[in-house]
Amino acid sequence: MLRWWDYWLKGVQNGIMDEPKLTVWVQGSRSPDPYRETTPGHWRSETEWPVTRADSQTWYLGTAGTFVAEPPLGDAPEQWDGPSSVGLNAPFWCTGLRPTGMPRDQRRDDACSLAFTTPPLSESLEIFGFPRVQLYVAASELVAQLAVKLCDVGPDGASLLVTRGMLNLTHRDSHAEPTPLVPGKIYPVSLELSSICHVFAPGHRVRLSVAGADWPLAWPPPRPATLTLYHDVDHPSQLLLPVISAQSPALPAPVFDPPEVPAAPARSESGDRSYTVQHDMVDGTTTLSTRVGSTTFLTEHELSMTETNAKDVSMREGDPLSCMVEMRRHMEWERTEWKIVIDSKIRLSCTTDMFIVQIDLKAQHNEAAVFTRCWEESIPRVLG
């Protein structure tokens, strides 16, 4: 990255533009350890995009959670009708550090979805690019969601999230001009999953999971919706995998210089850290809570900075209008002669027609309030 910026911003002739066009991280099969220290895989150079040696393979959804070579004859459609909390094993979009960590074993979410799984692979399978599904679905409501996950299932049954995709089905034809669904009507829906380069190891299985929710990553529709997935000769629902063969001849592996990391004149301490999921057996409410705290001391400036972040996301099963998220942040900057404290809270809830955002903000200097504001905004739900 530094050489690229040096070339374009400083005019340094360092040969960066003579190197291969792409540098790709090729990740391998592994256990879904959320706190792993390393990820198996290797770096590879590619000279073109799209890669011409890639082959889009079509895998049709078949009977009893299988894939087949041709669309099946007379397969009965399958229904997904919950639970609405499916998604809890990979509930964050951008994460990695404790306490949240990386996505966990997906078996619980797979079991709450319509899952299609291959037999164990006899040889490794590498995909590179954007996997895609073409599904034929009907919904019971005007607004519904489609959530798709591609997983790597190990010999022990552990399910590793490889990539995912999601679509508000009212956006099936256009994001700019969404249109409500006609309940019961079958729609062909194309959904592109996030880009990935992944090698499924021999003995592992490929799994596609289909659901009508991915919570709390995505806010639920106003009413619970049942999805019906069709996969027969008239409705050839399919997974399209960008399978890639080995380079011939193989390019030299990328070589990276050590990162330039200046020694920071700071000392950090971790505070409270927690990550819990609770389910109320009486009223059916599921709550995900995270707490992260830290203090940093800038020794050169005799300054301490403390920050505490808390987040609670909750929803009652069968009642998407009960969905609520609240985030709180407490921040302190302190030297011998002064102290600044800022507290903020944001709460998002909804009605059938509106998203409701409430914000509280308070700032103090040496324990004296210098700024306070509380306000609320209502945002119309446009088929969301």
Gap between the Cα atoms of 350 and 141, Å rounded: 18
Gap between the Cα atoms of 207 and 116, Å rounded: 6
**β-bridge pairing 285-298 and 132-139:** unpaired
pLDDT beneath 50: ranges in the chain: none
Query: Radius of gyration (Cα) for the chain, nearest Å?
Result: 25
Where is 8: in which H helix or E strand?
helix 2-10
- State the pLDDT at residue 256: 86
- State the pLDDT at residue 96: 76
Q: Which residues of 195-221 are buried (b: 16+ CB within 10 A; e: fewer)?
A: ebbbbbbeebbbbbbbbbbbbbbbbbb
For 181, list phi and psi in degrees, rounded to 5: -80, 155
Where is 359: in which H helix or E strand?
strand 354-365
Beta carbons of 353 and 380 less than 8 angstroms apart: yes
69-124 pLDDT, tens digit each = 999 998 899 999 989 999 999 998 877 788 999 999 999 999 999 999 999 999 99
- State the pLDDT at residue 271: 85
* Exposed / middle / buried, residue 99 (Cβ in 10 Å: 0-12, 13-18, 19+): middle
Where is 371: in which H helix or E strand?
strand 368-380
DSSP letter (8 states) at residue 4: H
Q: Where are the beta strands (DSSP E) in 3-92?
A: 22-28, 41-46, 54-61, 67-68, 78-80
Gap between the Cα atoms of 71 and 176, Å rounded: 33
Tokens standing for residue 221: 């529709």
- State the pLDDT at residue 279: 97
Tokens standing for residue 33: 């350890």
Q: Which residues of 24-43 are buried (b: 16+ CB within 10 A; e: fewer)?
A: bebbbbbebebeeeeeebee
Long-range contacts of 276-280 (CB under 8 A, 24+ apart): 277/88
- pTM of the full structure: 0.93
- State the pLDDT at residue 150: 98
Biggest alpha carbon–alpha carbon distance for the chain: 79
Tokens standing for residue 262: 């200046």
